[in-house]
Chain A
Amino acid sequence: AQRVTQPEKLLSVFKGAPVELKCNYSYSGSPELFWYVQYSRQRLQLLLRHISRESIKGFTADLNKGETSFHLKKPFAQEEDSAMYYCALRGGSQGNLIFGKGTKLSVKP
């Protein structure tokens, strides 16, 4: 079955600390993965997609096919990073995105 798992509902760190938001997936084919961010009561915004290999707002994510993971990392968290983060997998017969349940990141001063 195609599935995205974000094991942490809430992650709380202090400003300046490293952040890692975990994402594991289950997919039989060649996966395409995304990270979206949602600031308080706003729309979801695309943060990263693995095929572009970009670094946005200091965040990076590497696809690890052996561990079936796509963890989101940032070396030094900022208060403005506080938001809900969703990992998503392109799957299904129509290629729609399958989302994880999300991790709420709280960065404390």
Chain B
Amino acid sequence: IAGITQAPTSQILAAGRRMTLRCTQDMRHNAMYWYRQDLGLGLRLIHYSNTAGTTGKGEVPDGYSVSRANTDDFPLTLASAVPSQTSVYFCASSDSTQGAPYFGPGTRLTVL
């Protein structure tokens, strides 16, 4: 792989189900991010990680959790999905907290 990948590409999920969105980068970037994109609201930061082993909360963290066990992977988990979590989710990474984030292709999630 080259760059940053996300899986799945899209998913329809029943409310109350648990879901993990995967994100992997092979650029050895230290910082990684999860954003959600909603029409009329732009992109909002959910969680971030400045380096492996650390995570932090963004603007809209409720209902989401993340882990950063290694440099390459930054999964986002919805413990119990709700319809308001219907969105397009973008993972991004940067070589440092001062770098410009490079975005993944996104995951389109629909919660019914």
Interface residues of A (CB under 8 A from B): 9, 34, 36, 42-46, 49, 86, 90, 94-102
- Contact check, B103 vs A43: say whether CB atoms are below 8 A apart: yes
Q: Which residues of A contact B103 (CB under 8 A)?
A: 36, 43-45
Interface members, chain B 14-60 (any A CB < 8 Å): 33, 35, 40-45, 48, 50, 56, 58
Q: Which residues of A contact B48 (CB under 8 A)?
A: 94, 96
Tell me whether chain A's interface is mostly helix, strand or loop, or mixed.
Answer: strand
Give CA–CA (A97, B50) in the complex, Å: 13
Q: Quick check: which of B68-76, B77-85, B94-102 contacts chain A, the rest being far away?
A: B94-102
Give CA–CA (A36, B43) in the complex, Å: 11
Interface residues of B (CB under 8 A from A): 33, 35, 40-45, 48, 50, 56, 58, 90, 92, 97-98, 100-106
Which residue in chain A gives the minimum CB-CB distance to B108? A41
A103 shortest CB reach to chain B, Å: 10
8 new A-B pairs (CB below 8 Å) besides A94-B56, A98-B45, A99-B44? A43-B105, A44-B92, A45-B103, A94-B97, A96-B33, A100-B42, A101-B41, A101-B42
Count contacts between A and B, CB distance < 8 Å: 45
Which residue in chain B gives the minimum CB-CB distance to A95? B97
- Contact check, B33 vs A102: say whether CB atoms are below 8 A apart: no
Give CA–CA (A84, B42) in the complex, Å: 10
A sample of 17 inter-chain contacts (CB < 8 A) reads: A9-B40, A42-B105, A43-B103, A43-B105, A44-B43, A44-B92, A44-B103, A46-B101, A46-B102, A86-B42, A90-B98, A94-B50, A96-B33, A96-B45, A97-B45, A97-B101, A99-B44
> Which of B43, B58, B103 has the largest number of chain A CB atoms within 10 A?
B43
- Contact check, B58 vs A96: say whether CB atoms are below 8 A apart: yes
- Contact check, B41 vs A43: say whether CB atoms are below 8 A apart: no
> Which of A34, A49, A97 has the largest number of chain B CB atoms within 10 A?
A97
